[in-house]
Chain A
């Protein structure tokens, strides 16, 4: 099926460092979503972006909807141990392409205390 190109695949950082990850696609999206998944749980929505160029923050998390509508990035500032998990991007194609989300393969984040 369709997928987004999400990078990096994994990251191992020191507590306190900033983190950046991104998703790109050859398709244009109307909406970008960022989710986090903890072990043994389902993904939890972190940030939703609805307009090209939109920059939205949620605590230490900041995400942007790319101007071309083909990419998005997520930044985490001053990482802490509980940031550990897998981060997924998901995009929704414009109307007429049905409602389903297209998902990236995830960025696995490990934080060294």
Chain B
């Protein structure tokens, strides 16, 4: 099976711009979770989508949003970028049926905000 893919791998934006990141989960997986990873804060949970519905949400401002399509692919959008949004954004997929499935991570998208 192909693993979790994320595009693009690297992105450079300027403050005030918006960005959309994409994640394709493992075939058959219906849950997609998004994380922000920074050296000082570790992995911070953004949100989880299951069957096109947001099932869980972390403590991020409304500038961070996401959606999931019927084929389970997911996108994450950040509007009005700030310097502090520079981070590695990781997507993880899992079957989604059990309380805790094993999460399989993609390689991440490295976002740099100038």
Question: Judging by beta carbons under 8 Å apart, are A45 and B45 in contact?
Answer: no
The size class of the interface chain B forms with chain A is 20 to 34
The CA-CA distance from A43 to B104 in the complex, in Å, is 8
A103 and B102 CA atoms in complex are apart in Å by: 15
Q: How far is the CB of A84 from chain B (nearest CB, A)?
A: 17
Q: Which chain B positions have C-beta within 8 A of A66?
A: none
Q: How many residues of A contact B (CB 8 A)?
A: 24
Interface secondary structure of A, over-half rule = loop
The residues of B that contact A40 with a CB separation of less than 8 Å are: 107
Chain B at the A interface: SS class: strand
B40 → chain A closest CB, angstroms: 8
Max chain A CB contacts within 10 Å: which of B58, B102, B103? B103
Kindly identify, within residues 1 to 48 of chain B, every residue whose CB is under 8 Å from any CB belonging to chain A.
4, 33, 41-45, 48
| Interchain residue pairs with CB less than 8 A apart (29) | A1-B44, A1-B45, A1-B58, A3-B42, A30-B100, A35-B105, A41-B105, A41-B107, A42-B92, A42-B105, A42-B108, A43-B43, A43-B90, A44-B105, A45-B103, A45-B104, A88-B43, A92-B99, A92-B100, A95-B99, A99-B55, A99-B56, A100-B56, A100-B58, A101-B45, A101-B103, A103-B42, A103-B44, A106-B42
